[in-house]
């Protein structure tokens, strides 16, 4: 990957007040290179250009880093590994489980885990409602389903007093009204993603 992408990533991380070492920066760039390569065959993401991937995928995923509060994270409907793989790279102290139903995508995730030497990642190919999983301190989802559906599908996998970190675009006013008594709303955080003009919000729910 070229120096321009490295500079874009480095500046973006600094804007997010993330202090990464050289190895982490190069792992993130290697992940983008894998996305570009595999995207040609597997159609992992509609974003094709590496520089767009930096802002719309990597920096977008890392914008939730300040809100990670536990030692285990389940990324539901992870697709190409977003936000799970960027989080696993910058937070090696968190055990990240990547779950998806698409076998092509989980093959890519296994390859990325191996090539990037990410020992804190587990890849699961299953439907979340059927998966046999341990309890997690945190569950995240990015453009996966409505808040109501995510609670229904993932609530049982969340630890007592664990939290859901749901990544949304526009402020999800209507969806917030569907939260049941299994979880309570902590807050909705407006995320400022470098090089991204679209609105981004993080909905934080805590298990009752």
- CATH number corresponding to 3-207: 3.40.50.150
- Residue 168, Cβ neighbours under 10 Å: how many? 20
Domain ranges of the chain: 3-207
CA gap 128, 55 in Å, rounded: 28
Please classify residue 87 by burial: count the beta carbons closer than 10 Å to its beta carbon, then call 0-12 exposed, 13-18 middle and 19+ buried.
Answer: buried
Beta strand pairing call for 158-168 and 95-100: unpaired
- Per-residue pLDDT of the chain (208 residues), as tens digits, is 578 999 999 999 999 999 999 999 999 999 999 999 988 888 778 777 888 899 989 999 999 999 999 999 999 999 999 999 999 999 999 999 999 999 999 999 999 999 999 999 999 999 999 999 999 999 999 977 899 999 999 999 999 989 999 999 999 999 999 998 899 999 999 999 998 888 999 999 999 9
Q: In whole angstroms, what is the distance from residue 173 CA to residue 175 CA? A: 6
Question: What is the pTM (predicted TM-score) of this model?
Answer: 0.95
CB 27 within 8 A of CB 116: yes
Residue 199 in contact with residue 169, Cβ under 8 Å?
A: yes
Do residues 152 and 184 touch, judged by C-beta distance below 8 A? no
pLDDT attached to residue 18:
96
């Amino acid at each position: 990957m070229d120096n321009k992408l490295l500079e874009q990533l480095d500046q973006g991380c600094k804007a997010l007040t993330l202090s990464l070492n050289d190895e982490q920066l190069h792992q993130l760039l290697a992940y983008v290179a894998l996305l570009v390569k595999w995207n040609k065959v597997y159609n992992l993401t509609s974003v094709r250009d590496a520089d767009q991937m930096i802002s719309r995928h990597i920096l977008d995923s890392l914008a939730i880093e300040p809100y990670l509060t536990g030692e285990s994270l389940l990324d539901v409907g992870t697709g190409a590994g977003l936000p799970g793989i960027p989080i696993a790279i910058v937070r090696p102290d968190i055990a990240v489980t990547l779950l998806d139903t698409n076998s092509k995508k989980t093959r890519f995730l296994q390859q990325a885990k191996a090539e990037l030497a990410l020992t804190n990642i587990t890849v699961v190919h299953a439907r979340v409602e059927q998966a046999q999983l341990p309890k997690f301190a945190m569950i995240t989802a990015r453009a996966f389903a409505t808040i109501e559906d995510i609670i229904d599908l993932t609530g049982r996998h969340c630890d007592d007093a664990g939290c859901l970190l749901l990544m949304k675009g526009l402020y999800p006013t209507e969806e917030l009204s569907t939260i049941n008594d299994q979880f309570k709303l902590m807050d909705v955080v407006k995320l400022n993603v470098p090089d991204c003009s679209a609105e981004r919000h993080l909905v934080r729910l805590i298990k009752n």
